[in-house]
Amino acid sequence: FPSHDIPPIKLDVMQVTVANEIQSPAAPPGVNPSLTDMVMAIAKARLQAQGAEGTAQLTIKEAVVTEEQMPSDDGISSWFERGQDKRWQAKVAADMTVGQPGKGYTGSASAYATRSTTIPEDATPEERQAAWSRIINGLTQDLNAELEKNIRTYLTPVVMP
């Protein structure tokens, strides 16, 4: 997760942790994913503990890529056009909970992102990898934006300037 242009989200807690409640199923053939690692990278790059007490925990609830077969076109157009063979659908969901016992504060925020792409018939390994990169890069950007928006909206008391 390239975060050099994106400032961290500073939290008034002593510790930030990431928990994984799921096991991602195997990825489509020819790709090497780790959606949970992607979420952990976002958390590590963006969430910074800056306080003297309390904890924040980001819990990965869902991180899955499914593959479905696209209907084939057996008409005349299939002689001249390269059809789409498969659809990959990716979903990631995470919940963040914050507790500051000394201040009597608890709060939570959630983030959810989905992306999909299609793979052409007889796709080369390079085409499959490019499709995988598009789906993961888009999913990373979407999850990062949703997480930041919801933290700043629902966890305002612990967000530091």
pLDDT digits (tens, 9 = 90+) for 100-129: 999 999 999 999 999 999 888 888 899 889
Percent of the chain with pLDDT over 90: 47
Average pLDDT taken over every residue of the chain: 85
Amino acid code (one letter) for 157: P
Q: How far apart are CA 33 and CA 24, in angstroms?
A: 9
**Residue 111, token pair as written in the block:** 């983030």
pLDDT at 81: 65
Q: What average pLDDT does range 71-99 have in this prediction? A: 79
Altogether, the residues listed in the chain come to a count of: 161
Q: Is the pLDDT confidence value at 33 over 60? A: no
Closest CA to 96 of 81, 110, 86: 110
If residue 149 lies in a helix (H) or strand (E), which one and from where to where?
Answer: helix 125-154
What is the pLDDT confidence band of residue 97, given thresholds at 50, 70 and 90?
very high
pTM of model > 0.85: no
If residue 117 lies in a helix (H) or strand (E), which one and from where to where?
Answer: strand 105-120
Query: Beta strands 55-69 and 15-20: pairing type?
Result: parallel
